[in-house]
Chains A and B, each alone.
Chain A
């Protein structure tokens, strides 16, 4: 009974932390962008503008939730739900600490994360198609090509980590990093995973499915109210998920001296989330063909090379466990 209660608390706690964290990120991102771009950002509502989130929530919930008459009703409603479901489910396999986490000990943890990442493509693609408008369709098509492309290296870049730790289990992967974080032996894998992660969450500089200066707002042009809000929050959940995966796979997860494990995890996670925001503040958007050819011609060979080198080093340094 106690075990069941603990499990439920675990699930509800993680879910609440995620949704609240993602909502807060909307404010944190705008404040940080303001800081880096030498302006103030939202600072009127509450202390340091922190209640801006609440104001935005109230606004977005009371806005008219409009479905265009030319849209495909069911798919139009389904699309924003998919991104939230896939993102939140992906978190199930993240071991926050040895005891906090829903299925951190699952033997196909890495694969489950990849599966959820690949399913989240549908939300963008279906939103683009169901809106039945040209800008949305273009955004959806870009998203489909971009995300299918970058998924390939996302999977391949993790093979090195899996080879070194000998497991798809994320808890085992964290434990395998007790002596040395995988960022050092798997630096190429880390770089490729980072790029693929940005492209999968279609964040700047890889946000071509939205590309507001050419496509209106891309795939969510026709969305309003809370449906738009779900795309928005879904994007932040994607950032949190990618940052959490980077923490677990390459930076030793909860491991660290002095501080309790949960704080270490949060600390590492926040560094990567802030890094994501910094990228948005610092980098311009590439052209679409540059994005695609960069993926296939640079990142794919690089991730294959990483697998070959990792395998060679493992063979040379003795029999693998």
Chain B
């Protein structure tokens, strides 16, 4: 399981880096899908099979599809890729690189101190997730559902306005 964890997390890091540096939108999104699949595998090796399945179904299977849909609808072509390449000058990388180095230093120092702790390999069943969500975290679930309801009403209103005008 440990080897699987390291391979999957390595792929996740690599594909995320590639997703950031691609100039072509669809290619970047494809690497992001690979990254999400790798993260799902990481979850699975840590015993969270349910979270892994949801990661694939919700993120890779629905949200990124919508992003691809958007990129397709805009159908930007070569000019956008060229512009994107222009934006990615080395100077742009300075800020993010500093922040990234700070984070990395933090992790390295934690690892060096040796109290990173082996992740617990308790297998979490869908039942446990459900009990946790509708038990101690009920308030969060309700708040999230209210937020989603507001978003739904907003989307409906926008589409309604468009139809009324058109």
Contacts and interface: CB of A to CB of B under 8 A. Distances in A.
A129 B70 CA distance: 11
Most buried by B among A114, A115, A137, A168: A115
B62 interface: yes
A75 interface: yes
Contact of A75 (B27, B53, B61, B125): B27
Interface stretch (A60-68, A140-148, A266-274): A140-148
Nearest to B40: A115
A128 B72 CA distance: 9
A118 B69 contact: no
Contacts of A147: 65
B11 interface: no
A199 interface: no
Contacts of B33: 122
Nearest to A130: B26
Contacts of A114: 53, 57, 61
A72 B75 contact: no
Nearest to B62: A148
B18 interface: no
A121 interface: yes
B90 to A, nearest CB: 26
A23 B154 CA distance: 48
B26 A144 contact: no
Chain A interface category by residue count: 20 to 34
Contact of A125 (B50, B52, B57, B68): B68
Interface in A70-116: 72, 74-75, 78, 107-108, 111-112, 114-115
B26 A72 contact: yes
Contacts, number: 79
B126 interface: yes
B69 A145 contact: yes
Interface string A130-141: 100000010011
A108 B72 contact: no
Nearest to A145: B69
Nearest to B56: A115
Given A119-B60, A126-B26, A151-B62, A111 B50 contact: yes
Contacts of B24: 72
Interface in B44-71: 49-50, 52-54, 56-57, 60-62, 65-66, 68-69, 71
A108 B53 contact: yes
A155 interface: yes
B53 A112 contact: yes
A261 to B, nearest CB: 27
Contacts of A112: 53
Contact of B61 (A118, A130, A141): A118
Given A72-B26, A141-B72, A108 B50 contact: yes
Contacts of A126: 26, 30, 68
B69 to A, nearest CB: 4
Interface string B88-125: 00000000000000000000000000000000000001
B79 interface: no
Interface in B9-48: 24, 26-27, 30, 33
B26 A168 contact: no
A118 B56 contact: yes
B73 interface: yes
Nearest to B75: A137
A108 B54 CA distance: 10
B56 A141 contact: no
A215 to B, nearest CB: 15
A144 B63 CA distance: 11
Given A137-B72, A140-B72, A118 B62 contact: yes
Given A118-B62, A119-B56, A151-B61, A141 B49 contact: no
Contacts of A74: 27
A130 B26 CA distance: 9
A9 B165 CA distance: 63
9 contacts: A75-B30, A78-B30, A107-B125, A107-B126, A114-B61, A125-B68, A126-B68, A144-B72, A148-B65
Given A115-B53, A115-B57, A117-B61, 19 more contacts: A72-B26, A75-B30, A107-B49, A111-B126, A114-B57, A118-B57, A118-B60, A118-B65, A119-B60, A121-B61, A122-B68, A125-B65, A125-B69, A125-B72, A126-B30, A129-B26, A144-B66, A148-B66, A151-B57
